Every structure is written in structure tokens, then in C-alpha cells.
Chain A
Amino acid sequence: MFTREMNAASTTPLILGILQKGESYGYEIVESVKAVSDQQIEWPEGVLYPVLHRLEKKGLVSSSWRESPEGRKRKYYSITVSGKEALAAERRQWSIVVSVLDSLWEPIPRLAGATP
């Protein structure tokens, strides 16, 4: 659905955006993205975790293993201070791109006198 490049560019801001609302874990993040995007964004399962690990190595998220309410060993992720900064930077860039594209893609006004 999305191109590979689009997926690559949007995964980090999406994950950070979800974690900014509170700590979460892999399955819940995938489900949140699905719900928020009205099922438009569905990541192949298993792809999210390597991205989360990369973000953790970069210090944008931190993680801790705890027992889930169902009694499972689960890894919870939360956003760090530098993660919040990175998200703010992403947000600025995406806003610019979105507003530029919006103005470029506005319906082109019909030329005066042109026949329909």
C-alpha cells in the first residue's frame, strides 16, 4: 500500500508518536497504528521489532521487561527525552512537507473563458 520509502520514513515518527502517549509494547503498537490510521497502515508483523531495537540503540526509546497482566514476560517501551526531541524535529519536517503538498495539490482554478 505504502511504498517502501514511505514506510521507511514514517515508521519512526509513528512509533515515537504512539509512545509519547504512554509506554507500550510491540503488539499494542502495531494495533494502535492500525486503529489510528483506520486500518490504512498495516505493518508486516515482525518488522516493527527490529525498528524498535534500532530506536533503542539510538537512545530514542528505552525498554524494560515486566510481567504482563496475563502473566507473560513482556518488553515495554517508553520514549526518552532525546526521543521526544527527535519526534519534535520529525513533526516540523512532516508539517512542512504536508503543507507544501497541500498547496501544490489544491484544485487548479479553471482558466477564465475556457469552455468546459
Chain B
Amino acid sequence: MNTLESLAAHWRQSMEQNTSLDTTEIDELECHLLDASDRLVATGLTSSEAFIVCARRLGTPIQLDRSYRSRNTLWERLFRPSVLGSLVVLVVLVVIVAAAYVGGIFMTSLVPENAAILFAEPGTQLRMAKDGVYVSGGNGGMISIIGLKSLVALFSMTVFLGVAGWGALLKRQLAA
């Protein structure tokens, strides 16, 4: 393998490892590099020198990856990042709400009515109110308890905000 071939192989490997470009996209860029190198060889550079100069002009794998991805289809531009992003947010929210709910159910078993307790200091006194259970005692702190209805309202609000946020994100990306 001569020097130019090993340089080209090294460049290819770096592109394969550091970009999401597929094989034919890399083939096309490699052909571009070799075409551009030929031009520099005609001005007196060695083929290896020319290849190195051209590879630098073409850009780093990260720069190339960015320019390829930024011109992707509407579907990829709009939905891939936001679908992934909002799925992650949704999963996190569901986990938080589920944890609060399960915790609430557990704590509810300690009190007479259907109420969910999110936080309660040990030794606090519980007393019933119209739409939930309130605590007193401990250090005198209270309202660390949430009624189940409030929990449902909180969940709906979270979903609503999530959907609205997602809509705003899509709208902004459409305008971009």
C-alpha cells in the first residue's frame, strides 16, 4: 500500500467512525478528494501532500457530518430530533409521576381516605380535609400532601404543557 492509499484508507476510516454518512456518501467525497488532489499535484505537490491539503479543505468529519445532516429531508429535520427529545422528556415525566403516584398509593394506605401523600415528615399528624389530607405537627410544616384529584390534575397539566411545548418546537423548526 503506498502512502496515498494509506492516507485515503485512514481518512475513510475516520469518516466511518466519526460521521453518520453512509458508504456511498463517503465514496463520493473520496472521489472529490482525489479529483481535487490531482489538481494540486499538477502544481507540483506530491500526491500525499495534495491529499492532506485537500482533506483539510474539505473539512473535519464533524463539520462534514453537520453539513450533511443539516440538509436532510423535512422528516429527519423536523421529527427525528423532536420525537427523540420529546420521548425522553415524556419518559422522564411518566417516571416522575408514576413514582409520585406509587409513593402516594403507599402513603395513602396509612391514612383512612383516598389521598396520596408526596412528602410527610415522620411524626406528623394527619387530618382530613374536603379535597385531600393535610398534615400538622412535626416541625409545624404542612401541605406536603396532595390529594389524588390534584395528582390527576398535575399529570394532565404536565401532558398539556408537554404537547404545547412540542407543538411550539415543531412550529419553530418548520419556520427555520
Contacts and interface: CB of A to CB of B under 8 A. Distances in A.
Interface string B35-50: 1101000000000000
A105 B8 CA distance: 50
Nearest to A74: B31
Interface residues of B, number: 22
B27 interface: yes
Interface residues of A, number: 21
A51 B71 contact: yes
Contacts of A47: 67
B78 to A, nearest CB: 15
Interface of A (DSSP majority class): mixed
Contact of B29 (A49, A68, A70): A49
A91 interface: no
Interface string B5-44: 0000000000000000000110111011011101000000
Interface of B: 24-25, 27-29, 31-32, 34-36, 38, 57-59, 63-64, 67-68, 70-73
